[in-house]
């Protein structure tokens, strides 16, 4: 791959060239998303952080631009552009510096609605996907429970067949888009607990289903503008027609979804990391100390060069893996590597950049302070670093 990373005191700053796998269409996509973020997100997203909510019209605007359908077939309104397009999309969203916005949008596009395209029936695709792709219906993924996070096989939410319905009881925790969303792709146990991963099934569940309850909207350390909730299901009846994929095969579908999720997290790390370095370069080139700018201090230059190199490495792995996925190659090991290494790199980058901002970086309202808080969840959510390293080890 042809990726160059430069830090040059006489240039615009930190630059990452696109790899050869990025076509002209993807370059245009990048420019379109970057313009949207600069125009529609950055000027107003502080208010979203305060409200703990992203306006619904943002999903509608993204839908009008055709940006919510890259994982979906053209027959249902998607563009079917593939993994590389999603990586470009996620990378540019993350450059907004608002991790909550990025997470809410990509949970909808790449981590929940995409399950319908992968394993849904034609009837389910025709019913649900057009509104999801248009942004009229916002989707979330309901897998995590208080006692089953990285250990998906430990799901305890239970679904029991009753005629043409399934009756579901249980809880879900830390669910993004659950407060203001419309549909949950829900994982529930449909066989005995001792069957482990072999007894889990996915369901499509509208949030207005009787028995569906948002128990609490959760207050978080970061990602403040994304809504996150604890859900409770009490004798919730879901039609058998809403069973998604094969009965008792939901674990395998969830694992396939995790590949895309981990790939997107790599995109987040690349985009946020690059933006953090850009912001820091702007700062250290003007901030003076001991008669010179911070950039003139060798320690500053070497630290930023080190951080920039690490961002370039995770970006290279992410793009290489996305290209392999689009080519139909197995990428489970590589996506686990991305998830285990990328968030650790981003954590180092944003905290290193905050350090170079000095006291300014510690103040609420500065992008680098927000990015440092937002980055922390990536080492936990979607599979903790330690669990991901085990996943890599299994495949060595």
d(CA 26, CA 24): 5
Residue 280 scores a pLDDT above 80: yes
Residues 201 and 225 in one domain: yes
Counting every residue written for the chain, the total comes to 396
Residue 252 scores a pLDDT above 90: yes
Contact 24, 30 (CB under 8 A): no
The DSSP code for 274 is H
Q: Is 47 exposed, middle or buried (0-12, 13-18, 19+ CB in 10 A)?
A: exposed
**CB contact set of 61 (below 8 Å; sequence gap of 6+):** 36, 40, 135
Q: Which two tokens stand for residue 35?
A: 């313009």
Residues 154 and 205 in one domain: yes
Task: Please give the pLDDT value at position 318.
Answer: 98
d(CA 32, CA 104): 19
Residues 292 and 379 in one domain: yes
Residues 384-394 have pLDDT tens digits of 999 999 999 99
Mean pLDDT of the chain: 94
**H helix runs in the chain, sequence order:** 24-36, 45-51, 56-64, 83-94, 99-106, 113-119, 122-134, 250-284, 298-326, 332-357, 367-375, 385-394
**CB contact set of 37 (below 8 Å; sequence gap of 6+):** 92, 93, 95, 96
Residues 257 and 380 in one domain: yes
d(CA 307, CA 281): 12
3-state class of 372 per DSSP? helix
Q: Which of 138, 158, 173 marks a domain boundary?
A: 138
Residue 296 scores a pLDDT above 70: yes
Residues 206-241 have pLDDT tens digits of 999 999 999 999 999 999 999 999 999 999 999 999
Task: Please give the pLDDT value at position 223.
Answer: 98
261 annotated active-site? yes
More confident residue, 150 or 86: 86
Give which of 340, 339, 334 is closest to 320, Cα–Cα. 334
Q: Give the bridge partners for 176, in sequence order.
A: 228
The whole-model pTM stands at: 0.93
CATH of residue 220's domain is: 2.40.110.10
Residues 23 and 120 in one domain: yes
Residues 224 and 288 in one domain: no
Residues 245 and 314 in one domain: no
CA dihedral angle for residue 174, residue 176, residue 180, residue 186, rounded to 10 degrees: -80
Q: Give how many domains the chain has, as a whole number.
A: 3
Q: Which of 184, 215, 249 marks a domain boundary?
A: 249
Residues 342-373 have pLDDT tens digits of 999 999 999 999 999 999 999 999 999 999 99
CATH of residue 32's domain is: 1.10.540.10
Residues 131-165 have pLDDT tens digits of 999 999 999 999 999 988 788 889 999 999 999 99
Residues 331 and 354 in one domain: yes
Selecting among 92, 145, 261, 272, the annotated active-site residue is 261
Domain encompassing residue 372:
251-394
Residues 318 and 369 in one domain: yes
Confidence of residue 11 (pLDDT cuts 50, 70, 90): very low
Residue 12 scores a pLDDT above 70: no
Task: Please give the pLDDT value at position 5.
Answer: 37
Task: Please give the pLDDT value at position 13.
Answer: 54
Residue 3 scores a pLDDT above 60: no
Q: Which of 123, 138, 153 marks a domain boundary?
A: 138
Residues 165-218 have pLDDT tens digits of 999 999 999 999 999 999 999 999 999 888 888 899 999 999 999 999 999 999
Q: Give the bridge partners for 189, in sequence order.
A: 158, 200
Residues 132 and 20 in one domain: yes
144: left (phi over 0), alpha (psi -120 to 50) or beta: beta
Residues 268 and 314 in one domain: yes
Distance between alpha carbon 70 and the CA centroid of its chain, in Å? 14
Residues 115 and 25 in one domain: yes
CATH of residue 350's domain is: 1.20.140.10
Q: Is 262 exposed, middle or buried (0-12, 13-18, 19+ CB in 10 A)?
A: buried
d(CA 282, CA 302): 16
């Amino acid at each position: 791959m042809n990726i160059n990373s430069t830090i040059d005191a006489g240039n615009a700053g930190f630059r990452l060239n696109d790899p050869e796998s990025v076509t002209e269409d993807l370059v245009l996509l990048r420019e379109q998303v970057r313009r949207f973020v600069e125009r529609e997100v950055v000027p107003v997203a502080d208010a979203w952080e305060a409200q703990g909510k992203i306006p619904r019209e943002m999903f509608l605007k993204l839908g009008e631009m055709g940006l919510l359908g890259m994982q979906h077939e053209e027959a249902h309104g998607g563009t079917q552009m593939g993994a590389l397009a999603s990586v470009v999309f996620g990378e540019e969203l993350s450059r907004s510096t608002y991790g909550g916005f990025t997470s809410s949008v990509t949970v909808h596009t790449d981590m929940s609605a995409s399950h319908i395209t992968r394993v849904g029936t034609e009837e389910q695709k025709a019913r649900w996907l057009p509104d999801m792709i248009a942004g009229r219906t916002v989707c979330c993924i309901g897998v995590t429970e208080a006692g089953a996070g990285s250990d998906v096989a430990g799901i305890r939410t239970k679904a029991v067949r009753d005629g043409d319905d399934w009756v579901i009881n249980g809880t879900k925790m830390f669910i993004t888009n659950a407060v203001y969303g419309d549909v949950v792709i829900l994982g529930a146990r449909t066989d005995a607990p001792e069957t482990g991963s072999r007894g889990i099934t996915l369901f499509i569940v509208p949030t207005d289903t009787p028995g569906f309850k948002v128990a609490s909207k959760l207050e978080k350390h970061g990602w403040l503008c994304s809504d996150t909730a604890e859900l409770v299901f009490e004798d919730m009846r879901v039609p058998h027609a809403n069973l998604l994929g094969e009965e008792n095969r939901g674990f395998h579908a969830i694992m396939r979804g995790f590949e895309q999720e981990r790939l997107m997290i790599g995109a987040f790390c690349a985009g946020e990391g690059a933006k953090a370095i850009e912001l820091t370069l702007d700062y250290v080139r003007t901030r003076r100390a001991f008669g010179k700018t911070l950039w003139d201090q060798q320690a500053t230059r070497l630290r930023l060069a080190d951080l920039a190199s690490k961002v370039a490495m995770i970006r290279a792995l992410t793009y290489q893996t996305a290209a392999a996925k689009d080519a139909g190659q197995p990428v489970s090991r590589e996506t686990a590597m991305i998830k285990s290494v990328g968030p650790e790199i981003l954590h180092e980058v944003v905290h290193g950049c905050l350090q170079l901002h000095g006291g300014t970086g510690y103040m609420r309202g500065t992008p680098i302070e927000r990015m440092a808080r937002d980055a922390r969840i990536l080492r936990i959510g979607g599979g903790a670093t330690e669990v991901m390293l085990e996943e890599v080890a299994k495949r060595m």
